[in-house]
Amino acid sequence: MTLKNRWLLARGFHAPVCGAVEVLDDTLIEIGEDGVIADVVRPSEERYEALKSSIDGQGKLERLPEGSYLLPGFIDCHVHAPQYPQLGSALDVPLEVWLHKYTFPLEARFVDLAFARRAYGLLIDDLLANGTTTALYFATVHQEATRLLADLCLEKGQRALVGKVAMDHPENCPDYYRDASPDAAVEGTRALIDYVFAHADNASGLVKPVITPRFIPSCTDAALEGLGRLAQDCGCHVQTHCSESDWAHGYVLDRYGMTDAASLDRFGLLGRRTMLAHSNFVTASDMELLKVREAAVAHCPLSNAFFAGAVFPLRAALEKGLHVGLGTDISGGPSASMFEASRNAITVSRMLESGVDPEQPAAARASGKVARIDFRDAFHVATAGGAKALDLPVGQFAPGYAFDAILIDCNAPGGTIRLWDEAETSDDLLQRIIFTASKGNIAKVWVAGREVAGTQAPARGV
Ligand SMILES: [Zn+2]
């Protein structure tokens, strides 16, 4: 048998089901020319030894180095690409002040394509180096700069979903930064969708367009109605913010007499491909609605601390069977690392359960609910969970899924993983990776089988 495809011999982990980690132990992974996994063969299978010898004999087997572990690439379900220049700053005021004081002025600068190219190029490079193989991006209101973001994702090989932000409400958006009319918001969105689908370098659909009403306060009813109709027509992804802060949640209740989730549903914006960022203040009936519509939540734990004053009840959402992904919320969350987002998701879930006021006795301090998640849950939500939430065939090592992966080098001197002499169980090893890995440990990053980043990546042209 002559083998056409290449094969990897790998150790690693993935978590197709929440709470359960599967260990890949000297597993053979076949990758097709289209970057899709064609076969996965484990040592327990009868055909394993003969197949391995055959692949090896034909020089098609790449052995991943000792001490290196393969993980699915991270799926960042909430990134504001134009906010990257203010990452780690502007965290001192509430959301409604932050938007006007810092964020709208920064986003308005993306009318300048040279500035956009510099910021977006750096962001994509940094996210890939951090192991984010798929990103769901809010861009800006600008057509040209948003097209450039899609171009750069294709050029650099990042799987991405890109949305031109729609925001046309004259009372809540500044004159210098908004769509000129509801029609401009809707038609601008349609133009971006057409551009991405027709892109000469996007035949494989690596980049997808997203209908992106910023959030209800920034949109008129006419824009929301038009975007809802567009979503129904084209079946594209939809992203927006939902019940992020007390102010945002209260604003929608005042305007419509119903919650964000119910209002978005009324406009036809809640469906299988909808990603709602934050959703901290969703009610029990909102959760039920999300489940019925199969809509997803992007949990952004670090951002919750700065802008929500509350923590999304991830455990409850997972137990209800909602689709949930994890997001950095650059720059509302001051880190571009999905390892950090995973760790923060674990940390804040513990605090949600235990409470945090030391003046209260333990019993009064506690929420009274089991809210904690562990590293297995966080790993799932950051990979396979986010992929399922986005309805994309990535996030796990199985036939039919794209080979989007990262290789963790536990021995990298510039990394932050330190393993000691005692024998590690596999589960414990993954725990150590989740809690202590950083960019310096990410040796290779593949998207659709193509090596695109990592400390051991081949040098790339400029
Ligand atoms: Zn956001």
Q: Distance, CA 241 to ligand 1 centroid (Å)? A: 6
Contact 237, 270 (CB under 8 A): no
Q: Distance, CA 239 to ligand 1 centroid (Å)? A: 10
Q: Distance, CA 306 to ligand 1 centroid (Å)? A: 12
Rounded Cα distance between 209 and 211, Å, is 7
Q: What is the pLDDT of residues 187-216, one digit of tens each?
A: 999 999 999 999 999 999 999 999 999 999
Rounded Cα distance between 312 and 307, Å, is 12
Mean pLDDT over 79-90 rounds to 96
Q: Distance, CA 96 to ligand 1 centroid (Å)? A: 12
Q: Distance, CA 80 to ligand 1 centroid (Å)? A: 6
Q: Which residue, chain included where needed, has tokens 């551009």?
A: 195
> What is the fold of 74-390?
TIM Barrel (3.20.20)
Contact 26, 11 (CB under 8 A): yes
The pTM of this model reads 0.97
Other beta carbons within 10 Å of 115: 15
Contact 168, 188 (CB under 8 A): no
Q: What is the pLDDT of residues 233-259, one digit of tens each?
A: 999 999 999 999 999 999 999 999 999
Measured between its terminal Cα atoms, the distance across the chain in Å is 40
Q: Distance, CA 281 to ligand 1 centroid (Å)? A: 15
Q: Distance, CA 338 to ligand 1 centroid (Å)? A: 15
Residues forming CATH 3.20.20.140 domain(s) in the chain:
74-390
Q: What is the pLDDT of residues 150-166, one digit of tens each?
A: 999 999 999 999 999 99
Contact 14, 22 (CB under 8 A): yes
Q: Distance, CA 299 to ligand 1 centroid (Å)? A: 10
Q: Distance, CA 360 to ligand 1 centroid (Å)? A: 33
Domain 6-72+397-453: CATH architecture, name and number where available: Roll (2.30)
Q: Distance, CA 87 to ligand 1 centroid (Å)? A: 13
pLDDT at 189: 98
Residues forming CATH 2.30.40.10 domain(s) in the chain:
6-72+397-453
Give Cα 120 to chain centroid, integer Å. Answer: 16
Determine the length of the chain: 462
Q: Distance, CA 94 to ligand 1 centroid (Å)? A: 13
Percentage of the chain lying above the pLDDT 90 cut: 93
Distances (CA, A) of 402 to 263, 397, 447, 448: 35, 8, 8, 5
* Strand, coil or helix: 402: strand
Q: Distance, CA 332 to ligand 1 centroid (Å)? A: 7
Contacts of 173 (CB under 8 A, 6+ apart): 104, 167, 218
DSSP 62-113: EEPPTTEEEEEPEEEEEEEGGGGGGTT---SS-HHHHIIIIIHHHHHGGGSH
Rounded Cα distance between 39 and 28, Å, is 8
Q: What is the pLDDT of residues 264-315, one digit of tens each?
A: 999 999 999 999 999 999 999 999 999 999 999 999 999 988 999 899 999 9
pLDDT at 462: 42
